[in-house]
Amino acid sequence: MNKKNDVMPKAYFTIPEAYINDEQLIAIIDDHGRQISYQELSVKVDTVASELIRCGVKAEEKIAVFMERSIDLVVSMLAIFKAGGCYIPVDLSFPQEKVRDLLNISGAGRIIAKGAKSHNNLVGLEHHNVYDFHSLESSKSAGAVCTSKLVPPTAAAYVIFTSGSTGVPKGVTMSYQGLERLIAWQIADAKAALKTLQFTSLSFDVYFQEVLSTLLNGGTLYLVGDCIRKNSEELLTKLANEKVQRIFLPFIALSQLADAFNKTNILPSSLEHVITAGEKLVINEPIKAFFKALPNARLDNHFGPTEAHLITRYILADDRDTWDMFPSIGQAAEGVTTYILDDNLDKVKKGEIGELYVSGSGLARGYLDNPKQTSHMFLPNPFADCNESRMYRTGDLVRKAQDGNLIFEGRADTQLKIRGFRVEAEEVEYVLCAHPKIEQAIVGLKKVSDNLEVLAAYIITENEISNSEIQAFVSKTLPDYMIPKRVHTVEQYPLTASGKVDRIKLKTDFEHVSEEATGPSQKASIEGIVKEVWERVLGHDEFEDDDDFFDVGGDSLLVAWAVRELERELDCAVELSIFLEASSITEIADVLRNQAIGQGAKASSEVVSLRPGPMDNILFFIHPLGGEVYPYRNIANAFTNPMRVLGLRRTPTGVSEEPVTIQSIATKHVESIKLAKPCGPYLIAGWSFGGVIAYEIAQQLISGGDEVRYLGLIDSNPVLDIFSANKTSDSTLSDSLEKVLNKLNSLSEAQFKAKAVRDLTTEESVAVLLCQTLPTGITLDKTRQLISDMLGDVRAAKQYQVKPYAGEVDLYQSDTPSTTVKKKLAEALETLCAGTVQSHNLYGDHYALLKMPCAQELAQAVEQSIIQIA
C-alpha cells in the first residue's frame, strides 16, 4: 500500500459512469411511486453541487439538511459530498428547541430544506443561509456538470448527534476516509445491483450504509414513509411486491416483521440479505420461523457504535435450527482491530469479560468542538503502530469465545438503546429535573412485551404531576425516542448495601404495574379487543383508552389494517369511517357495541368530523378520487384558530344504475351540508378531484340563494388538467383506468396479491395515483370496486360542463407544475370567475401537499385566507 496516497486529497462517493450511462437503470423509487434513473440522479446531484460551490461552500463546511425522507434528501447528501462539504442530517420530527440546539452546536452556517421559509422549526434561523432545495435545483447551475472537489481523507464527511450525559448532545464527526472504508467493505461483501429498502432513521449512521452501498454498486434504493416503516404488515407487503432483496433493520423492527409474517403468511420471498444492528439480537421463535420460510436469505448481526460505525460482523449459519438465542457479535470487520481490556487497559485472558476497545481507519475524528470528551473516549493506543495510534472506548462489555467470536455481555455505563438510538440516561434525567415539580429522576428501560422495551422514568415529587404534563415538558427539548413512555412516582429510591441507587430493584418493583391494571374481563370485552388490535397495528402499547388513534401513531394506511383486524376478531363488517367518527378505544368500542345491538352495521355517514370547533364556523372538505377524507386530517389538525372541520365522503359502490355526473355528486353533498349547517355563509374546499366537486357545490349553493364566503381549490381545476394544463375533456386517464379495471378482472385473488400496484399499469402518472389511493393489503374485490368508482368519477369530470362562477376563489398550487402550466391554470379560473382569483404557491408536489410538513404550510395558507374574508 502506498502510504502517501492515503493522505492525498481525492474525490469521494462519486457514482460510477457505467451506471450513469445506462439510461434504463433505476437508482431510486420513492413511496409515491416516483422513480429516478442514475442518469437523472447524476444531473440533479451535479446541479445542486455546482450551485453550492458557486455559493462559496468550502471543503469540510458544515451543511445541515432539514428534509423528509425523499429522493431530494439523497440528492442533497450526495451533492454535499461532491462539493466536499460536511453533511449534517436534522430529523424533521425533532422539536423546535432541539433543532436550534443542534444547529447551534454544529456550527452549520448553511441549511438545505424544502419549504424552509415556512416551516415552524426554521423560523428565527435567518442568520443561517437557508436554501430551499427547489431553488438550488432550478438555479443558474441547472444542467451544469460538476467535477467532484478533492478533499483530504481526514476531512469531515458528516456529523451525527448522539445523546450526551451532560444534557448536551454529542456531535460525532466521521471522516471521508472512515466512511469510505465502511462502504468499500460493504460493497465487496454484497452482490451488485441489489434492490434495497431504506428503513433506518435519517439521523442514524446505518443510513449511509443503506444509501451509499446501494447507489455506488448499481442497485435500486426504495424509499418508504413512516406509514409503512411503522406497520410491519405493510412493510412485509412492500418487500414482497417490490421484490426487495436487502434490508437493514434494528432488532425490534426485525422481530415485529417476523411476528407479522407468522400472523399473515405474507412472505417476501425475494429477500436475500437482512442486516440487523443497533440493538442486541435475540433469536426468538418468530424470527427463526421467518428465516426458515426464507431458506436462501442470509442474516448478519452487525455491531458498532456511531464513533466507529461498524466494528464486528457475524453471519448466522444456514441451518436455522443451530441458531443460538443470543448470537455472537462476530469478529472484526476489515480495517478494524479490537481489544478486550480491563480497568488498567491490560488485555484480559481469553474467555474473560472485559471492555471492548477498537482502533482502525474507521474511527470518528472525535466529538465536535468537545476536546475534553474526545480525549476521554479516544485514547492513545499502546498496542499498535502510528496507523492505529488511537483507540476508542466503546463502553461495551464482551468476552472472546473459543471460536474467536465476540460475545456481547452488556454495558459498562448507563447508556441505553431505544429503537436503535443511543440514549444517555443522565441527559433525560437532566431535562426531567428541570421541571419545577420534579425533585429527582432516574431513567431506565422497562420491558412491556416480549419484543418491546420502552424508556421509563422513576420520579420523586411532592406535587401531583400527570404523565401527559411530563411528556409535554420533555418534548420541548428532546426528540420522541428520548421521551419516557412510562412515568412512575416513588417516595424514595431503593439502595444497595453500598448506598447507591439499586436500579435493578427499582425496575423490578414496577415490572408488572401496567399488566395488573388489565384483568381477564378487560381482555374479553370489546374494549380489550380494540386495544389488542391497536397494539398489533401500532406496534406498541403507549396509549390510554381515551387517546386518539391518530395521536399515538395511527394514519390512514394503519386504519385500513386496523379495520381488517377488527373484522377478523369480531366477525362483522367494520366501516373505515369509524376511525373518523370515533377514534379512541372507548368511542370505537361504543360504536361497535351499538352496531351489535342493532344487529349489523349502520350505513356510514357521508359527513365525518375532522376537527371539533364552533358550529357557526365550519369548513367543509370534499373527498378526492377514492371517496375518503383521510387525506385532509393533517391539514385539519394543523389549524390553530377555532374552526370546525367536516369532511364529505362518498362510500364506494362499484356499481351505478346510471352514469354519475359532477352535478349529481354535488347535489347529494349539498343536502349533507344543509343538514350540518342549514344556513350560510359557507366555507368549501377540495383537493384534486375534490376541488372540482367543491366548485359545483359552490355553484349550487349560490344558485339556491346561499352565500359561499370561501371556495378553496387545492391543486385543482375544473376545466384544465393540473399537470399539463390540457383540457380535462381531453384527458386519457379514464382510458388508463379502464385498462387497469380490465386487468383486475382477469386476475385471481392470489395473482393480485403477488403483484405490486405499479404492475397494474405502465403509465407512471397512473401508477403514482394508484400507489397513493389504494391501501396496502386491499382485497381484489374492493380494488375493483374502488377503481370502478374512480373511473366513473373521471368520466364525470371529462363531461362536466363548467359554468361561470359568481364568487371569488383561492387557488393553492403545488410546486410540481412548471411556471407556464401554473399560469395557464390560474388564467383559466380567472376567465371563469367574476370575483378575484387569489393564487398561493406552496412547497411540495401534488400528493405531498396533504402530508406533513407541507400540510402545515397549506393549513396556514387556508387559515389566513379564511381570516381575511371573515
Asked if 830 contacts 837 with a C-beta cutoff of 8 angstroms, the reply is: yes
Identify which has the larger pLDDT, 521 or 322.
322
pLDDT at position 580 is: 64
Q: How far is CA 8 from the centre of its chain?
A: 39
Distance, CA of 494 to CA of 509 (rounded, Å): 10
Q: SS3 of 590, please?
A: helix
Q: Whole-angstrom distance between the N-terminal and C-terminal Cα of the chain?
A: 74
Any domain includes 258: no
Q: Is the pLDDT of residue 633 over 80?
A: yes
Q: Do 74 and 147 share a structural domain? A: yes
pLDDT confidence bin for 552, thresholds 50/70/90? confident
pLDDT at position 777 is: 60
C-alpha grid cell, residue 713:
381549490
Q: Beta-carbon neighbour count of residue 818 at 10 Å?
A: 12
Lowest average pLDDT, out of 2-6, 176-180, 818-822, goes to 2-6
pLDDT confidence bin for 600, thresholds 50/70/90? very low
Q: What is the mean pLDDT of residues 355-368?
A: 94
pLDDT at position 805 is: 93
Closest CA to 864 of 808, 810, 805: 810
Chain mean pLDDT for the chain: 84
Q: What is the mean pLDDT of residues 476-499?
A: 78
CATH number of the domain bearing residue 483: 3.30.300.30
pLDDT at position 151 is: 94
Q: Do 710 and 682 share a structural domain? A: yes
Q: Do 538 and 476 share a structural domain? A: no
Q: Is the pLDDT of residue 228 over 80?
A: yes
Q: Is the pLDDT of residue 373 over 80?
A: yes
Any domain includes 268: no
Domain count within the chain: 6
Any domain includes 563: yes
* Most confident option among 206-215, 607-616, 823-832: 206-215
Closest CA to 701 of 806, 835, 829: 806
Give the range of the structural domain holding residue 94, as residue numbers without chain letter.
1-14+39-152
For residue 308, how many C-alpha atoms fall within 13 Å in the half-sphere facing its CB?
Answer: 29
Asked if 543 contacts 534 with a C-beta cutoff of 8 angstroms, the reply is: yes
Asked if 661 contacts 800 with a C-beta cutoff of 8 angstroms, the reply is: yes
Which residue, of 411, 441, 476, is where some domain finishes?
Answer: 411
pLDDT confidence bin for 780, thresholds 50/70/90? confident
Q: Do 467 and 352 share a structural domain? A: no
Q: Do 820 and 706 share a structural domain? A: yes
pLDDT at position 2 is: 45
pLDDT at position 527 is: 83
Give helix 556-570 / helix 526-538 axis angle, nearest 10°.
Answer: 140
Distance, CA of 334 to CA of 591 (rounded, Å): 60
Asked if 31 contacts 767 with a C-beta cutoff of 8 angstroms, the reply is: no
Any domain includes 194: no
Any domain includes 680: yes
Lowest average pLDDT, out of 220-234, 237-251, 586-600, 844-858, goes to 586-600
**Which residues make Cβ contacts (< 8 Å) with residue 405, sequence separation at least 6?**
314, 328, 329, 330, 331
Q: Is the pLDDT of residue 398 over 80?
A: yes
CATH number of the domain bearing residue 404: 2.30.38.10
**Residue 131 burial class via C-beta count within 10 angstroms: exposed 0-12, middle 13-18, buried 19 and up:** buried
pLDDT at position 697 is: 96
Cell numbers 364566503: residue: 709
pLDDT at position 99 is: 81
Q: Do 506 and 395 share a structural domain? A: no
Any domain includes 778: yes
Q: What is the mean pLDDT of residues 566-590?
A: 76
Q: Do 529 and 512 share a structural domain? A: no
Any domain includes 396: yes
Identify which has the larger pLDDT, 522 or 274.
274
C-alpha grid cell, residue 736:
388508463
pLDDT in tens, 655-704: 555 678 999 999 999 988 888 788 889 999 999 999 999 999 999 999 99
Q: Do 811 and 691 share a structural domain? A: yes
Q: Do 73 and 120 share a structural domain? A: yes
Q: Do 693 and 736 share a structural domain? A: no
pLDDT at position 276 is: 95
Q: What is the pTM of this model?
A: 0.63
**Run of H or E including 396:** strand 390-400
pLDDT in tens, 121-145: 666 666 678 888 888 988 776 777 8
pLDDT at position 607 is: 78
pLDDT at position 523 is: 34
Identify which has the larger pLDDT, 514 or 588.
588
pLDDT in tens, 40-59: 999 999 999 999 999 999 99
Identify which has the larger pLDDT, 475 or 218.
218
Q: Do 614 and 468 share a structural domain? A: no
Alpha helix segments (H runs only) across 704-777? 733-745, 749-753, 764-773
pLDDT confidence bin for 517, thresholds 50/70/90? very low
Alpha helix segments (H runs only) across 267-360? 285-292
C-alpha grid cell, residue 33:
411511486
Which residue, of 799, 827, 846, is where some domain finishes?
Answer: 799
Q: Do 128 and 93 share a structural domain? A: yes
pLDDT at position 599 is: 39
C-alpha grid cell, residue 257:
416483521
Q: What percent of the chain has pLDDT over 90?
A: 41
Q: What percent of the chain has pLDDT over 70?
A: 86
Q: SS3 of 16, please?
A: coil
pLDDT confidence bin for 757, thresholds 50/70/90? low
Identify which has the larger pLDDT, 363 or 478.
363
Any domain includes 452: yes
pLDDT in tens, 97-115: 778 888 888 989 899 987 5
CATH number of the domain bearing residue 104: 3.40.50.980
Which residue, of 134, 152, 170, is where some domain finishes?
Answer: 152
Cell numbers 485472558: residue: 349
Distance, CA of 509 to CA of 515 (rounded, Å): 13
Lowest average pLDDT, out of 50-54, 407-411, 623-627, goes to 407-411
pLDDT confidence bin for 756, thresholds 50/70/90? low
Q: What is the mean pLDDT of residues 386-396?
A: 84
